[in-house]
Amino acid sequence: MLSARVLARRSVASAVFARRAAATGAVGAREKTKALREMLNSSDLAFLMEAHNGLSAKIVEETGFKGIWASGLSISAAMGVRDSNEASYTQVLEVLEFMSDATSVPILLDGDTGYGNFNNARRLIRKLEQRGIAGVCLEDKLFPKTNSLLEGSDIRQPLADVDEFCYKIRACKDTQSDPNFNVVARVEAFIAGWGLEEALKRAEAYRLAGADAILMHSKRGDPSEIEAFMTEWNNRHPVIIVPTKYYKTPTADFKSWGVSTVIWANHNMRACVAAMQETSRAIFEEQNLVSVEGKVAPVKEVFRLQGEAELREAEKKYLPQK
């Protein structure tokens, strides 16, 4: 049995931790999973903004977004590799750890196919929970994945067997330790060229298997596939959409169809690419910094985002003052 002194010490330590968490705005993993679950089930249309590292995640939260989409395309692009599972899941986990540490809002990972079969996927769940990630989105395609937006007659988008994917969902739900951890099933039927009937069949199977929400994907330039699905789906379970291709559709339409959550999926990464290309081109051609200095963030802003002020205060507290 623990002594009264040890118990008192632990009580004091817990109180100190709570005060520090409140002072710094720190949010525990279970608060994040609960927040994402409530977002998915809310009657209000919610939004997740893409981020791909700690810096972009912090910027997304500061902007006001209540949740973050950890995009597989964006994370792999930031690493300079293709979105074909060339980045290992442990490399992705390292990025996620920095993102989670830098923010207090929930993160939903674009988990591709779960990096293998049910066994790989359920191990991924354990690792995500350890890093305070609020949920994972798994797509019903084969490993290694093929990006859904690739174009060309030679691009194949083979789908996973429905029953096997259902068992993968069940394995993930059985593995999670936090009841509010979110497993989203991403239906790629439209991407693979199948019609509404297949999309509905898969979505319903994944709902019954225990998925907390359905992500219905489409790469058409108009929202006809999504609208048709939402009409037939009739609000039986939360639906997430990714309007990267049908971006001209008014957001009010999504709400009227009963969409739960909209993901702005890759725009911070694409904004970075455009800005870096333009800045690099200007400096290369002009061989000076005159034209770009006013267009880039001040170094002071970088220091602020890194939390430099907190370190200065900590040094005063924890380093000998001469």
Catalytic residue set? 83
- Residue owning tokens 């959550």: 261
Alpha helices in the chain (DSSP H): 4-24, 29-41, 54-63, 72-79, 89-101, 118-130, 162-175, 196-209, 224-233, 251-257, 267-286, 299-306, 308-318
- Non-local (6+) Cβ contacts of 145 within 8 A are 72, 83, 84, 85, 112, 113, 139
3-state secondary structure of 109: strand
Q: Which DSSP state fits 266?
A: S
> Encoding tokens for residue 172?
């993930």
Looking from the CA of 68 toward its CB, the CA atoms found within 13 Å total 33
Among 132, 116, 217, 236, smallest CA distance to 172 is for 116
Answer for the pair 246, 222: CB distance below 8 angstroms, yes or no: yes
Q: Please tell me the distance from the alpha carbon of residue 285 to that of residue 101, in angstroms, as a whole number.
A: 39
Residue 108 φ then ψ, to 5°: -105, 120
